[in-house]
Amino acid sequence: MTDDAVVHSPVRQLRLVVEAADFDAAVAFYRDALGLTEQAAFEGAGDARVMILNAGLATLEISNPEQVRMIDRVEADGIASAKVRIAFEVDDAHTMTEKLVHAGGTLIASPRETPWRSLNSRLAAPAGLEVTLFEELEPLAIRSVRDGFTSPKPQH
C-alpha cells in the first residue's frame, strides 16, 4: 500500500480467480518473477491444484469506454486492452517489466509516463491475462489536485 488510507468496506477481500492451463508457468511468472507471496496452496484428486497469492491491497477500477480508449492511447499506443486487465503497483516499472518479459510475458507496451503521474507498461501474461505494471511517481495527495482528478464521492 502506498500513502492511501485503508477505507473500511463490508467486503473483506477481492480475490481474482484465474484458470491457468499451464499452472507451473503461471506460478513461475506471478509468484517467482513478479514476487507475489504464497498465502496458501491446495492439491486434490486428479492433479487438481490451486495456489492463492497475496497481491497486497486490492482495488476495483471501473472505467467507462471513453476512459478505456484514453488509457489505451496513453499506455499502449492505442492498442485495445482486454475487457479485464490486471494492474500491479510496483516500485520499479522498468526493472519489473524486463523481469516479467524474461519470465514469459510478452511486451505490449514499454514503460511510459502517464498524465496521472505513473509509469505504466503492459504485457500479455500467463493464464491469458493482460497485465499493467504501474509505478506511482508522486503521492496521491499531490496527484489528486491535478486537472482531471475528482474528489471521492460520498457513499450512500
pLDDT of residue 1: 42
The pLDDT score that the predictor gives to residue 3 is 47
**Can you tell me the distance from the alpha carbon of 102 to that of 115, in angstroms, rounded to the nearest whole number?**
28
> Is 9 among the domain residues?
no
Would you say residue 49 lies in a domain?
yes
Strands 106-113 and 37-44, how do they pair?
A: unpaired
Question: Given this model, what pLDDT does residue 11 score?
Answer: 87
User: What range does the domain containing 93 cover?
Assistant: 23-143
Spatial neighbors of 96 by CB under 8 A, at least 6 apart, are 34, 90, 133
CATH of the domain at 99: 3.10.180.10
Residue 155 within any structural domain of the chain: no
What pLDDT, on a 0 to 100 scale, did the predictor assign at position 2?
46
- What is the C-alpha separation between 137 and 89, in angstroms, rounded? 11
pLDDT tens sequence for the chain (156 residues): 444 455 678 888 899 999 999 999 999 999 999 999 999 999 999 999 999 999 999 999 999 999 999 999 999 999 999 999 999 999 999 999 999 999 999 999 999 999 888 999 999 999 999 999 999 999 888 887 887 777 655 555
Look at residue 149 in the predicted model and tell me its pLDDT. 73
Q: Which residue reads 491491497 in cell numbers?
A: 57
Per the structure, the count of domains in the chain is: 1
71-81: string of b/e by CB count within 10 Å (b at 16+)?
bbebbbeeeeb
Grid cell of 64 as nine digits? 467507462
Indicate whether 121 belongs to any domain. yes
Q: What is the pLDDT of residue 156?
A: 54
Residue 7, in any domain of the structure = no
Residue with cell 499502449: 76
Q: Is residue 101 part of a domain?
A: yes
